[in-house]
Structure 1
Amino acid sequence: MTATARKTFNTLATWDADELRQKLAPFRSPGPVTTASSAVDEPQLIDEDDLPSVPESAPEWLHDLLDPEGSGGDAFDRKYGDRSRAVQAAAVDLLRCGWSQDQVLTALWRSGPVVSVALDHRGQNDTKALAYLKGTVTKALAFAAAHRRNPQDVFSARPDVEGSTQGGSIVVPGWPETQVSKAEAEAARLTPTEIVEGLLFADLAALIAPGGVGKTTAVLSAGIGLALGTYAFGREVVTSGRVLYVTGEDAREQLAARRERIMDSLFLPEGEKQRVRENFGVWDVSEGGVKLTRDLHGNIEPTPVARQIVEAYKDDPPVLVIFDPVVSFGTSEGRPNDNEQGIIAAARQIIRGLGCCVLLIHHTGKANARDKTTDQYSGRGGSALADGSRMVFVLTRWDGTGAAGSARPPEALGSLEDSEVLQLHPAKTSYAPRGKARTIWIKRTGFAFQFAEEETKSAEQVHAEQDRTVLNELHQRMGRGEWPTKRALEDSAAGMGMARQQVRLALERLKGRGRIEDRTLPKEERRGMRQTYLCPVDGLDDGGESLMAQDMPSGADGGPDPCTVGGDGGDDDGLF
C-alpha cells in the first residue's frame, strides 16, 4: 500500500457513520436505486444504512475485507494473493447472495483495503478510483450471470417426455413441442455452468482409480475447496456451493474423520471449518438398499431415488453430488452396459433437477490396472459409463521410475520424501479447451495435498521418451545375458511404467527407423516358434544423440554381448 493510500485508509477508519455519509454525498446518485437485474445501469453509491448484513455463510476473508472497522487483515493473501482478483471475487460473491449492484459498490467503497486498491490503480484520484470500482462491479455482474446455475436444467427447459404418460404409455410430443424458438436458441449456452476451472462442469463426471490409491480422500479434499470457494485438484473454484457425498462403501464416521484431518493440514480457522461442516453433507447408505437402478421385467431403469434427491435438495441445491463407489448403486454387473446406462439416466435426473455436477467414483478394471491405462475406458464393466460421461478422470499412483514419457513430477512439488505421488489424468473433457486437459500431479503427505500440472509435451517428445525407455530395457536384459523378445518386453510394460500397447508401438517405431532388428537365435536357444530375438543396430537417434540411458553393456558375468554372437554359431558380424 502506498503512503497516500495508507493515509486515505487511516482517515476512513476514523470517520463515524455521519462523516462517512457526508463524504459519500458528492458521489451519490439522486435517482432511484438500481437492482441486481438492471445489468445495463451503472451502479451508484447508496446510504450505508441500506446495506444488508454480510451473510454468515460468507467466508471469513470476505467478512474481514468488508468490515469498515477492521483493517482487512490478510484477506487478500488468503483469497488469491492478487488484490484486484480478490476485489472482483468479493463483488461476485455478494451478487450471488442477492445483493444489488448499488449495495455491492457501496460495501466496497466503504472498505479501506478495497479503496486502497482502487486508488493505487487510478493514481490516488478519488473520482477515478470510484469509476474503477463501478467497472469492477459491472464486470462481476456479467461474470455471475455467465456462470449462473439453473436449478431446473443444465441447459434449458425441455419437455418431460418420460413423465408425460397417459394410460401407461409415453406421450410423444408433436412438432410444436419439438421446435426450437428463436428466443430459446439465442438464450442457449454451448456449455453448462463451470464449477472448477477447466475441470468440472454441471454435468456427469466419472473418476476412475484402482482400489487403495486414495481416491476417496482426494475427492474429500476437492469437496472442501468447493465448500469454501478456493481450489479443487489445484484448479480455481469458479462456482462454489454445497457438496453432497453419498457413500456406499466407507462409513460416515470415517469420512468425517478424514475430512477433519484434511482441514487440519490446511490450517483452516475454526470458522471456515464450521462452514465446511455445514456445506459438505455426507449421506451414509453403506448398509445397502439405496440403488439408482432396478431390474423391472427385464428392463434396467432408474429408481425413484434420483427424483427423491432432487425433491429433498431443490430449495438449496448443491454444486456437486458424489456417489462412491458406483458399483454400490447399480443393479446387475451381468449386464454392465445396461446397468451403466440406467445409472447415467438417474444421474441426469439429478443434474437437470439441481443444475449440479454428479461425480461417479468408479474402480479400474483388473487388466487396465495392471497395464496402467489412462484412457476413458479404464473402468471396470462396460463402455457406457465412459461414453455417457462428459468428463472422465483416471487417478493412478506414480511408480517413481519417470519412465514412459511421464517424466518426473514437476519441481513445484518439492521433495518427495515420505510422500506419495499420484497423477490425475483428464481422459475426457467435453467442455474444456484442449490446453486445459493436462495431467495434474498430486503429492500426498499424510492428509496434506499439493498439486502441480505437468508441462505439455508434444506427441513426438512423448514417443521419443518411450523409445528410450524400451531401448534401455532391451540393453539391461542383454546385460543379464538374456535374449530379448517382443513378448518379453511387452510383459515388462508395467515395470517400465508403460502400457503393453505403448511398448508395442515403441518397438514398431524403433524397427521402422532401423534402430533395432530381429536376429536369429543360436541353435541351442531356439524353442518351438521362438527363432529370433531383438537386437539394437546402433545407439544413436535421428539427431545423433544417444537413445540409451547407458552404454551397451557386456553379457552377464563378463561374457560376450548377445548381439555380438552369430545366430548360427558366429557367422554374423559383431555389432561393435
Structure 2
Amino acid sequence: MSREITPLHIMSAFQVEPPALDFIISGFLSGTVGALYSPGGVGKSFLALEIAASVAGVDLLGFGPHCTGRTLYIALEDPEIVLRRRLFAIGSHLSLQQREIFAEKVEVLPMLGVPFDLRDGRHANWLTARADGVRLIIADTLSRAHSGDESSNGEMAQLLRVLERIGANTGASVLFLHHVNKSSGRDRNGDQFSIRGASALLDNARFGAAITYLEHDDAAAGTRIRYSVSKNNYAAPIPHRYFLRHEGGVLLPASQEHDDETGESPKEQRMGQRLNHHKPKALSSLLNPCGSPYLAAKNGETHDW
C-alpha cells in the first residue's frame, strides 16, 4: 500500500455533520475521475481549456461560482501551434486581469510525440509529482495516455484505478477526454452508452459529460452545441447547457431555452423535429463560420483551428 488506510469512525459519522461536497464544476466532485466525450471536432478540447479557465476563476462558460484552483492540462494529441491558437482565441474574450489569472493558475504541457503511458508506473508517478497542489488534471485525450486495449473492460478498469490513485494521492480531480463510438457520433447521442470502447471507462468514472452538435433555427446565429451530463454520482440531475461557437472556436453560452430532455427549441418541438435522432449534416460555412476539423475534412475544406 502506498498510503496508510485509516478505518472510518462510525459513531463520529453518525454525530458530526460532514462538510459540504466540493465540486470542480456542477456534478464533478473534487478528487474523483470524470470523462468528457464527443465526436471528433465538436470542441471538447476548447471546452476543456475553458473548464480550466473556470476552475481558475475565469468563467466564460457560465458554470457559476465554485472553489478555484490550479489546473494541469496534458495536451497529448495537438501540436504547440494549435494550442497557442486556441489560447489566443480564448484570450480575446478576457480582460488583462483575467488573462493574468488564467496564466497563473493553468499550466498547459504540449506533449505530442512524447512517450507517455499511465500504465507505466514511472509515468504515473511523474504525473502525481507534477500535479502537486493542483485542483484539476486534464488528459487530452485518454487514447494517447495508455497502451492498453480500449475495448477490454479489465484493462480499462485498471487504467481508471491508476487515475483514481493519482487523484487520491494529489487531491486533484482527473478529467479525461475521449471520443464516442461511430453510431453515437452519427446520431448525436450523448448518453452514457455512447462513449467509445469498454463500458468500464464510464462505469468506473464518477462523472461523465458529452457535447454534441445541434442544428440551429437561425443560420446567422452559428453552430449550437449541447453539453449534457450523462453520469453524475453525487448531485441532483443537471440540465443540459447550450453553447455557440465563436471566432477561433471559442464556446460561449447560448440561449438555454430548450427542453431539457430533447434539446429541442420551442419551434423544433412544434414542428416535431427530434434533432438527436437525425444523421448530422455537413454544415456550410454560414452555419459553421469558424470551422471544424471533423467537418472540414469530411467536406474537403480547410480550417484554421
Code of the aligned partner of 1:377: F
Q: Does 1:286 align with 2:120?
A: no
Residue 274 of structure 2 is aligned to residue 446 of structure 1: no
Which residue type is aligned with residue 225 of structure 1? S
1:207 counterpart SS class? strand
The structural deviation recorded for 1:281 is 0.5
Q: Which amino acid aligns with 1:318?
A: V
Alpha-carbon displacement from aligned partner over 1:390-410 (angstroms, at most 9, x marks no partner)? 111111011336xxxxxxxxx
Q: Secondary structure at 2:272's aligned position in 1?
A: helix
| Distance of 1:235 and 1:329 partners within structure 2 | 28
Partner of 1:352: 168
**Equivalence for 1:311:** 129
Q: What TM-score do the two structures reach when normalised by structure 2?
A: 0.78
Name the SS of the counterpart of 2:89 in structure 1.
Answer: helix
Q: Which is further off, 440-449 or 389-398?
A: 440-449
- 1:329 aligned residue (145, 157, 175): 145
Match of 1:513 in 2: none
What is the CA distance between 1:305 and its match in structure 2? 2.6
1:272–1:400 CA distance, 2 compared to 1 (3 A): closer
Percent identity (aligned): 21
Q: CA–CA distance in 2 between the matches of 1:446 and 1:461? A: 24
Query: Is residue 205–residue 389 contact of structure 1 (8 Å, CA) maintained in 2?
Result: yes
**Larger Cα-atom Rg:** 1
- Asked whether the 8 Å contact 2:131–2:172 carries over to 1, the reply is no
- Please name the residue that 1:275 is paired with: 101
**Residue 210 (structure 1) aligns with:** 39
Could you say if the C-alpha distance between residues 318 and 339 of structure 1 is closer, same or farther in structure 2, counting changes exceeding 3 Å?
same
Kindly indicate whether residue 1 of structure 2 is the aligned counterpart of residue 200 of structure 1: no
Q: Which runs of 4+ in 1 moved over 6 A?
A: 458-462, 465-468
Rounded to whole Å, the distance in 1 between the matches of 2:239 and 2:40 is: 23
Match of 1:426, SS state, is strand
CA 1:467–1:215: 2 relative to 1, 3 Å: same
Shift of 1:225: 2.4
Task: Provide the aligned length of Structure 1 versus Structure 2.
Answer: 276
237 and 391 in structure 1: CA distance in 2 versus 1, 3 angstrom threshold = same
Alpha-carbon distance in structure 2 between the residues aligned to 1:469 and 1:213: 25
CA contact (8 A) 1:252 1:282 kept: no
Amino acid at match of 2:105: N
Structure 1 gap ranges (5+): 1-159, 165-172, 295-302, 402-414, 473-491, 498-576
- Indicate conservation of the 8 Å contact 1:324/1:360, yes or no: yes
Give 2:48's match in structure 1, choosing from 194, 204, 219.
Answer: 219
Cα RMSD (Å): 3.3
Q: Secondary structure at the match of 1:205?
A: strand
TM-score (norm 1): 0.43
Once the two structures are TM-superposed, the CA of residue 206 in structure 1 deviates from its matched residue by: 0.4
**Structure 1 residue 424 corresponds to structure 2 residue 227:** yes
Structure with more of its chain in helix, by fraction? 1
Q: CA distance change for structure 1 residues 467 and 292 in 2, over 3 Å: closer, same or farther?
A: farther
Offset from partner CA, 1:259-317 (integer Å, 9 cap, x none): 12211123x12x431332222101222214111125xxxxxxxx333333222332xx1
Pairing 1:340–2:156 present: yes
1:354-378 CA distance string (max 9 Å, x none)? 2222111001111211122221121
Deviations 1:293-342 (A, max 9, x none): 25xxxxxxxx333333222332xx12111001110112222653223212
CA distance in 1, matches of 2:263, 2:214: 19
- Once the two structures are TM-superposed, the CA of residue 352 in structure 1 deviates from its matched residue by 1.2
1:433 matches 2:259: no
Aligned positions of 1:251-262 closer than 5 A: 251-262=79-90
Q: List gaps (5 residues or longer) in structure 2.
A: 282-305
Q: 1:378, 1:394 within 8 Å by CA — same for their partners in 2?
A: no
Paired position in structure 2 for 1:235: 63
